[in-house]
Chain A
Amino acid sequence: MIKKTINVQNRLGLHARPAAMIVTTASKYQAELFITKDGMRVNGKSIMGVMMLAAEMGSELLLELDGPDEENAMADIIRVIESKFGEGE
């Protein structure tokens, strides 16, 4: 199991599109993903869960990945978040 903290960097936060991107990316892997924000912990493969975080820009997310391919999954998800979901800002 690996953990990492990351901030939401795109201006518009985790609205539908970025949420979908996180879920689609995480779903490629066997490892389970949990995301915690302000004490709320959700299943990262559940779009309802990720949407409910209503994470605005700057929010701190704790990512937890647990499974055989957790390293790759973490790298992939971090990359997606750091690239600001392709939104440019």
Chain B
Amino acid sequence: MGTKNMEAAAKHQIISGKPIVGGIVLGLTRLVWPGDIHITEVTVPAAGVKKEVKSLDLAVEATVGELQELQKSALKKMGGPVAKIFEAQLLIASDQDFLTKVKEDIKARRRNAAFVYNEHVVKATAPLKSSHDAYIRQMSQDIEAVAERIVAHLSGNSQKLLEFAPNTVVVGKSFSPGEVLSFRQQKVIGFIVKESGPNSHMALIARALYLPVLAIDSLTPAQFRTSVDVILDSMAGKLIISPTGEELSEYQQKRKRLGPALITRIKGLKQIPPETLDGVKVTIATNLTLPGPAEDLLAEYKIPVGLYRSEFLYLSNNRFPDEETQFEHYEQVARRFANTSVVIRTFDLGYDKLTSDAVWPLEDNPALGWRGIRPMLDMKNIFKAQLRAILRASSRKNLKILLPMVSDLAEIEKTKKLIAQVKFELKKKRIPFDENIPLGIMVEIPSAVLMADLLFPKVDFVAIGTNDLTQYVLAADRKNTKVAELYSSFHPAVLKMIYEAVEAAKRNHRPVSVCGEMAGDLLALPFFIGIKIDSLSMTPARIVDLCRMVNKIDSNLLPPLVKAVMASPTAEVVIKRLESFKNALESRKKRS
């Protein structure tokens, strides 16, 4: 016919999806879509029925063996809560009642085991799959994961071990935890799925293994029949197919700032925590939201978690996670950072952290409304569940509880009462926890600063939230572009508030840290060291730059800078003064 077989290069395309586990990878896709195993209905002669039944027993035995291995491996690499996923699957695989029914059916209808078993599974999962409840749907996924193994053993397909090229991003409908674990062992670097919840068992394991996962609702196998080059950005929630040269270099840079290169750069630091030229140690901590790459290295270098934003568990699922799910997450973080400490901030929702969940009212003034600790104290059962999950994860004595948006003593007292109740309940059940778990408050509302001498003695530590503090002090909504010029954390009024808070902390002998964007800002660093902040908690990407800058500062030179900055009339003047200080530092020869 003469038509040339044109192999069109895949078109450049950007598809958006739902981030399930955050990360950025560049790779080549490989489609692994279910339905690879085709089950045919075969009539079995009367004499062969016994053999069919026996082969089912063998398939179950083999599957149970596999699951036990995976459970052991998961326990070793990821800890108890993750390993528990396999417990449910083990129960499913060895369910005698179910197996007996299948075997009776094999005998009665004289059909092959794979076909009959699959039929029973389809019948069992039908009512579960149509549920709007993600937890119930998860059950059907666990059942299907087990069924896939059993059927694979029955079809003699269990020997097939998919071989992956390096830098493979696997594309499929969904994957079982076992598959994630074994793919990872074959160096798969990321997953694109059609459906997954962030709390699904698959997500839990992928998160523990630092594998990015992106869920694309409209995913069809046809799009990925042939392998394509992709950039998987499951932090921003997008997939770039056939990236351009520009996109590739942009993302390679991003990966450097977030991924392996960040790791390399941390290794290049002389010491952590960094010291000023005159030997003053400055504690640098990290913020954590959606767990992602580089955590192991942060933990290895004993960089504490200064702020663990727990609300992502809610935001990614549109409902409050149950206590068990929370416990699994907190336990995982506590375990990862066992050699240092983790500050878990209780759910900080409302204002700009909302979902379509009906629980959030429409407010005229969301910034001044039902947010932070306020809704939690109104929803005591949900708050207690979180406190209980945190306490249960605290037996290594490396967790701290941080309360957001505290403006009043009553909020502290009420929370303490709830914590006491939870401690009592746990003691009754003989569940171990940290008796002396430290409790802290975020200082972001002006009244908290003005009443600091009353509030600070009631808690163990304080953390200044500069983002919200700035907007409340200046009465300028940080999300409102019309007043964007008014919002500046370098406004002298804000600096005075911060200074007051730090002084109060010193008076009351409480450690004080800064969270918020300002903590990672090189300009603000000399000011913070000058007023003797105890620690700065920032996004991991900023850590190396801050540490390097600390090394250049002589703290003896700071008092006049602090004085000048606090006496400045406007934010512009403050910034100018900090900038000239910074420029002077950077022109020094680095003493190493």
Contact = CB atoms under 8 A, between A and B. Distances in A.
Interface string A41-60: 00101111101101010000
A39 interface: no
Contacts of A74: none
B323 A88 contact: yes
Contacts of A45: 96-97
Contact of B127 (A12, A49, A54): A54
Contacts of B382: 89
Contact of B135 (A15, A23, A24): A15
B385 A54 contact: no
Contacts of A23: 91
A13 B136 contact: yes
Contacts of B97: 43, 45-46, 48-49
A54 B136 contact: yes
Interface bin, chain A: 20 to 34
Interface in A1-23: 10-13, 15-17, 19-20, 23
Contacts of A11: 322
Given A15-B139, A45-B97, A49-B98, A20 B91 contact: yes
Given A15-B138, A19-B139, A87 B324 contact: yes
Contacts of B385: 87-89
A52 B324 contact: no
B143 interface: yes
Contact of A17 (B88, B131, B143, B381): B88
Nearest to B381: A89
A73 to B, nearest CB: 16
B501 to A, nearest CB: 34
A51 B133 contact: no
Contacts of B324: 17, 86-87
A86 B325 CA distance: 12
B381 A16 contact: no
Interface string B197-229: 000000000000000000000000000000000
B18 to A, nearest CB: 21
B135 A51 contact: no
Contacts of B388: 88
B366 to A, nearest CB: 26
A2 to B, nearest CB: 21
A47 B95 contact: yes
A47 B127 CA distance: 15
Contact of A16 (B98, B138, B323): B138
B142 interface: yes
B92 to A, nearest CB: 6
Given A13-B133, A54-B131, A47 B322 contact: no
Contacts of A20: 87-88, 91
Nearest to B136: A54
Interface string B51-89: 000000000000000000000000000000000100110
A49 B382 CA distance: 30
Contact of B139 (A16, A43, A49): A16
B447 to A, nearest CB: 32
Interface in B110-161: 124, 127-128, 131, 133, 135-136, 138-139, 142-143
A49 B97 CA distance: 8
Contacts of B95: 46-49
A70 B384 CA distance: 35
B581 to A, nearest CB: 51
Most buried by A among B84, B88, B91, B324: B91
A12 B124 CA distance: 20
A47 B124 contact: no
Contacts of A54: 127-128, 131, 136
B375 to A, nearest CB: 15
A7 to B, nearest CB: 17
A59 to B, nearest CB: 12
A45 B389 CA distance: 29
Contacts of B142: 16
B98 A46 contact: yes
A26 to B, nearest CB: 11
A56 B139 CA distance: 13
Nearest to A43: B97
B296 to A, nearest CB: 28
Contacts of B389: 88
A16 B128 contact: no
B502 to A, nearest CB: 37
B133 A56 contact: yes
A43 B91 CA distance: 14
A47 B92 contact: yes
Contacts of A17: 84, 88, 324
Nearest to B429: A86
A46 B139 CA distance: 14
A56 B96 CA distance: 25
Interface in B305-334: 322-324
Contacts of A52: 124, 127-128
A87 B322 CA distance: 7
B323 A15 contact: no
Interface of B: 84, 87-88, 91-92, 95-98, 124, 127-128, 131, 133, 135-136, 138-139, 142-143, 322-324, 381-382, 384-385, 388-389
28 contacts: A10-B322, A12-B135, A12-B322, A15-B133, A15-B135, A16-B135, A17-B84, A19-B139, A20-B91, A23-B91, A46-B97, A47-B91, A48-B95, A51-B124, A51-B128, A51-B143, A52-B128, A54-B131, A87-B324, A88-B322, A88-B323, A88-B384, A88-B385, A89-B322, A89-B381, A89-B382, A89-B384, A89-B385
Top 10 closest A-B pairs, CB basis? A46-B97, A15-B135, A88-B385, A88-B323, A48-B98, A43-B97, A47-B91, A16-B88, A89-B381, A51-B139
Interface of A: 10-13, 15-17, 19-20, 23-24, 43, 45-49, 51-52, 54, 56, 86-89
Given A15-B133, A16-B142, A87-B385, 12 more contacts: A15-B138, A16-B88, A17-B88, A43-B97, A48-B92, A48-B98, A48-B124, A49-B97, A51-B143, A52-B127, A54-B136, A88-B384
